[in-house]
Amino acid sequence: MKTLKTYAILYLVFLYAPIFLLPLFAFNTSTIIAFPLTGFTTEWFTALLDITEMHNALFNSFKIAVTSAVLATIFGIFGAMASTRYHFPGQKGIMGFIMLPLVLPEIIVAVSLLVVILKLGMSTGSWSVIAGHTLICTPFAIAILNSAFAALDPSLEEAAYDLGETRASTFRRVTLPLVMPGIVSALLISFTISMDEFIIAFFLTGADPTLPVYLFSMLRFPKLLPAVMALGTILVVLSILLITIAEIFRRRGAKRAGLKDTGGFL
């Protein structure tokens, strides 16, 4: 186990190495991303404030991510409730199909949506990115919410109903509060996925780029690279923050339901 532990720690270093490099060069004075480091500066961060196109892209991404996260979570609630509570004909096939985007290469999702949109004579835009992101976020939302709903004892809902509540007020007074941590977690995860997603946005974004698409276009200009590092630092810190909050909510939910924590989202 000792050798394994050393290996595991080395592996973690390998996993995190690229991310640790980000702030190193984001605060480095040199425009060339290479060792040795030349000095400390925050100018690349302040430079970000002047790029208005980036601000538009950020706002666009935020709008898309919020909408996709809400839609994916709503679809996720329906899907997770159906698959954990009920047995219906064709359940495996239907759920398998809904979860398919988890393994399907994103470029396939992107081009197939693009083809249909163009064929229908519509033009791409934020809405089509939202449509695509909702599709790929829904399986993640379902995976998270499945465990939230599975942890919920069905007799709790029956008890509320037996004590005089209606189906709707049972959902509001019992089901919702108990799966709320799962819902928050699903929202945050979906938001993060949408915020970071590149391929689908690249194909479907139309005239208003999302932040990753804009960032991709920045990569062609070497002089912008330090600014990319700065922006990347912000995005990575934000992602880690959101994911940590999501994890805290998921654990709280598991604890509330009196479950032993099994760890991990998937």
Partner 1 sequence: MTIKAKPERKPLISLQNIQKHYGEYHALRGINLEIGEGEFFSLLGPSGCGKTTLLRTIAGFEDIDSGSVMLAGKDMMGVPANKRPTNMVFQSYAIFPHLTVAENVAFGLRKSPMSKAEKAEAAEAALNMVGLSGYGTRAAHALSGGQRQRVALARALVLKPKVLLLDEPLSALDRKMREQMQVELIKLQREVGITFILVTHDQEEALVMSDRIAVMFEGEIAQCDDPEVLYRCPKTKRVADFIGVMNFLPATCRNEGGKKIVNIVGLGETEITEEQCPEGFPEGAATVGFRPETLTILYDTQTPTHREAPAMIEEVVYYGDMTYYDVKFDGVDTPVRLSMRNLFGRDVLEVGTRARISWSPGALVVFG
Partner 2 sequence: MMTTGEKLRRFFRTDQGVGLLLVSPTALYALLLLAVPLIAIVVISFLTQTGVRDFAPGLSLVNYKEALSDPLYRELMLRSLMVSGSVTVVTVLLAFPIAYFVSFGVKPEQKSLWIFLITIPFWTSYLIRVFLWKVILGYNGVLNSGLKLVGIIDEPLTFILYNVNAVIITLAHAYAPFAILPIFVALEKIDRSYLEASRDLGESRTMTFLRVTLPLAAPGVVAAVLIVFIPTIGDYVTPKLVGGPGGTMIANMIQTQFLRLNNAPLGATLAVLAMLIVAVIAIVFLIVGYRAAGGGKKGGRG
From candidates 31, 106, 125, 150, binder to partner 2 by CB under 8 A: 106
Q: Does 17 bind partner 2 (CB under 8 A)?
A: yes
How many CA atoms, within 13 angstroms, populate the side-chain half-sphere of residue 18?
Answer: 3
Per-residue b/e over 216-242, b at no fewer than 16 CB within 10 Å? eebeeeeebbbbbbbbbbbbbeebeeb
From candidates 66, 114, 131, 156, binder to partner 1 by CB under 8 A: 156
| Segment interacting with partner 2 (CB under 8 A) among 47-55, 150-158, 178-186, 193-201 | 193-201
Which DSSP symbol is given to 151? Answer: T
Phi-psi group of 90: left, alpha or beta (phi > 0 → left; psi -120 to 50 → alpha; rest → beta): left
What is the footprint of partner 1 within residues 134-153 (CB under 8 A)?
153
Task: Please report how close the Cβ of residue 211 comes to partner 2 at its closest, in angstroms.
Answer: 9
| Segment interacting with partner 1 (CB under 8 A) among 57-65, 163-171, 200-208, 237-245 | 163-171
| Segment interacting with partner 2 (CB under 8 A) among 49-57, 147-155, 174-182, 256-264 | 256-264
Task: Please report how close the Cβ of residue 79 comes to partner 1 at its closest, in angstroms.
Answer: 23
From candidates 13, 59, 108, 176, binder to partner 2 by CB under 8 A: 108
What is the residue type of 248?
Answer: I
| Segment interacting with partner 2 (CB under 8 A) among 38-46, 89-97, 146-154, 176-184 | 89-97
Nearest alpha carbon to residue 230 among 241, 242, 218 = 218
Nearest alpha carbon to residue 210 among 197, 220, 191, 221 = 197
The residue assigned the tokens 């040199």 is: 30
Asked if 145 and 186 count as a contact pair (C-beta separation under 8 A), the reply is yes
Task: Please report how close the Cβ of residue 8 comes to partner 2 at its closest, in angstroms.
Answer: 5
Helices (H), ranges, 167-224 = 167-170, 176-196, 199-204, 211-218
**Binding residues for partner 1, per CB under 8 A?**
153, 155-156, 158-166, 173-174, 177-178, 256-258
